[in-house]
Structure 1
Amino acid sequence: MLFVEFRFFWFFLAVFAVYWSLRENRTRKIWLLACSYLFYACWNWKFLFLIMASSALDYLVGSMLGRTDDPRKRRGWLIVSLTANLGTIAFFKYYNFFVTSAAALLAWLGLPASLHTLNIVIPVGVSFYTFHSMSYTIDVYRRKLEPVRSLLDLA
C-alpha cells in the first residue's frame, strides 16, 4: 500500500477514526504502533522484523545509556547501536556495489573472483527510519534527551 493509492485513504480514515474513539493514551499508542507495523507489512511483511528489531535495539540502547555514567560503557552501547543501524543500511543499500567493485578490482589485478551479488530489495524508508532511530540514540548518548520509559514512545 502506497500513500498515493486510494486504499491508503480508507486505511488512514479507519486508523484516524479508531484513534479518536480510544480514550486512554497508552491504548492510542498501541493502536498507532500496530497500524504502523501493519502499513509497513502491507509493502513486504518480511521486512517487518527489521523495523521491529531496530525499534527494540535502540530502545534497549537508550535504556542502557540512561542507566550508566561510565564513559566506556556508554560509548560501547552507542557503538552497538551505530554498528547495527549502519550495518543494516550498508547491507541493503551498498552490498551489491561493494561486491561488484571488489570483483572488478580482483579482475583488474588478474585474480580470480567468484563473488556474487544478491537480489536485494531495499526496504521502504530504511534510511529515514534508521537515521531517525540513530538520532535518538545519539541524543541520549550526548544527554540532549532523556531515555524514553516505554517502547511505545520510541517506536
Structure 2
Amino acid sequence: MADLLLPDAAATEALGARLAQTLPERAVVHLHGDLGAGKSTLARALLRALGVTGTIRSPTYTLVEQYALAPDGLALHLDLYRIGNPGELEFLGLDPAEARLWLVEWPERGQGALPPADLDVELAVDGGGRQCALHPRTPVGEAWLRALPAG
C-alpha cells in the first residue's frame, strides 16, 4: 500500500502520468472516493499520459467511454454512479479480455459484474488537496506499485 498527499490537481495529474509509465500489459483500476475527490482527474491524466489525444469525456452519463491506446490497445473508462444494480452492466457488452486498461469509478455499484481490481485507488478531499491510498489487489498490482517512480 502507498499513501500519498496530492496537494493540488497538478499532483493528481502527475500521479496519473507516473502510473502510465509503468502500466502493466493489462490492468484493472478501481477508483474510489466521494464526488469531487479527483477520480476523473486521475483517470484523464493517466489516459493522456498513455497518448490519448482529443477530448477525454467523463462517462458520467454514457457509463463507458472507450479510448484507443497505441499501438493496438483499448482503455475503458467507466463511471457507475448512475447504475441501479450490477446487472445493468450486461447491457454494455463489455468483454474483460478486450481492454488493456479498465478505469472504473464507483466500482462498488458494479460489484460482482466487473473484473477484479489489480489496483484500488482511494481518493479523499483534504483541504485544497487530496489524500490518496494505492492498494494492490493482485500480483500485477503489487508489481505495478513496486515499479512506480517516486513522485
Tell me the TM-score normalized by structure 2: 0.28
Bigger share in helix: 1
Tell me the TM-score normalized by structure 1: 0.27
Bigger share in strand: 2
Give the greater-gyration-radius structure (CA): 1
